[in-house]
Amino acid sequence: MAELLQLEALSAGYGKATVLHGVSLSLEQGKALALLGRNGVGKTTTLNSIVGLTRYHSGAIRLDGMPIEKLPPERRVEAGIGWVPQERGIFRSLTVEENITAVARAGRWNLKEVYQLFPRLNERRTNFGNQLSGGEQQMLSIARALVLNPKILLLDEPTEGLAPIIVEELLAAIARIVREEGLAAIIVEQHAQQILAITDNAVILDRGAVAFAGTSARLAADHDTLTRFLGVGAS
């Protein structure tokens, strides 16, 4: 299967600081990639670089074969990048339904479909963004990204700070998006084992460079690598 997203020897950062040092990774359509590593190693910077929020230094970012590393963020969204940031990025003064319809574009994912994926949002459709729980805000952030009908979904710490029951619900929804709907995804996550269970491949970053690249199943069984780069909490 042809690669949907390719990063080739990407170096990028903020201001004069270089955070990523020659990062290479690839992702096929309908596959999910776990992007792992300790805090501060460049995971969020990698997603930000794909979105267009860092200073590009060198290397390539290709989406469906098209170079996008020099495009502004809005053009990358138009090209098919969907982004769920750590900060969630919802409009707190708009209702759930207004949040979704304000950004929706024609395609497979629409208001009805995201309500089916996240029934809680349908129940809260008239509530304002600032009236939602953390888990509901995260669901709304994912829904907003989906109705842009992207080719690839980038999720930055989607389960951070959420109750276990909500984490389980979110992971099931993400798995469905990839497995049943065929949408490619890169997921940054601190809890390795739970995300390796729903992804196909994994990349570990260390000091802004790739320290491991392989299948999720291989990494899940490699306790030495998990401990070395992610800490004993990874298991």
What pairing do the DSSP bridges indicate for beta strands 32-36 and 184-188?
parallel
Asked if the structure places residue 84 within a domain, the reply is: no
Asked if the structure places residue 119 within a domain, the reply is: yes
User: Distance between CA atoms of 222 and 235, rounded to whole angstroms?
Assistant: 10
Residue-number span of the structural domain to which 120 is assigned: 92-147
Q: Average of pLDDT values for 168-182?
A: 92
Nearest to 209 by CA among 51, 13, 4: 13
Asked if the structure places residue 32 within a domain, the reply is: no
What confidence score (pLDDT) does residue 89 get? Answer: 87
pLDDT of 232 strictly over 90: no
Asked if the structure places residue 134 within a domain, the reply is: yes
Q: What is the pLDDT of residues 215-231, one digit of tens each?
A: 999 999 999 999 999 98
Q: What is the pLDDT of residues 143-152, one digit of tens each?
A: 999 999 999 9
Asked if the structure places residue 37 within a domain, the reply is: no
> What are residue 229's phi and psi, to 5 degrees?
-100, -20
Contact 176, 153 (CB under 8 A): no
Q: What is the pLDDT of residues 2-44, one digit of tens each?
A: 799 999 999 999 999 999 999 999 999 999 999 999 999 999 9
Asked if the structure places residue 58 within a domain, the reply is: no
Asked if the structure places residue 99 within a domain, the reply is: yes
What confidence score (pLDDT) does residue 1 get? Answer: 58
What confidence score (pLDDT) does residue 235 get? Answer: 43
Q: What is the pLDDT of residues 115-124, one digit of tens each?
A: 999 999 999 9
Q: Average of pLDDT values for 160-178?
A: 92
Count: domains in the chain: 1
Asked if the structure places residue 63 within a domain, the reply is: no
User: Distance between CA atoms of 189 and 168, rounded to whole angstroms?
Assistant: 14
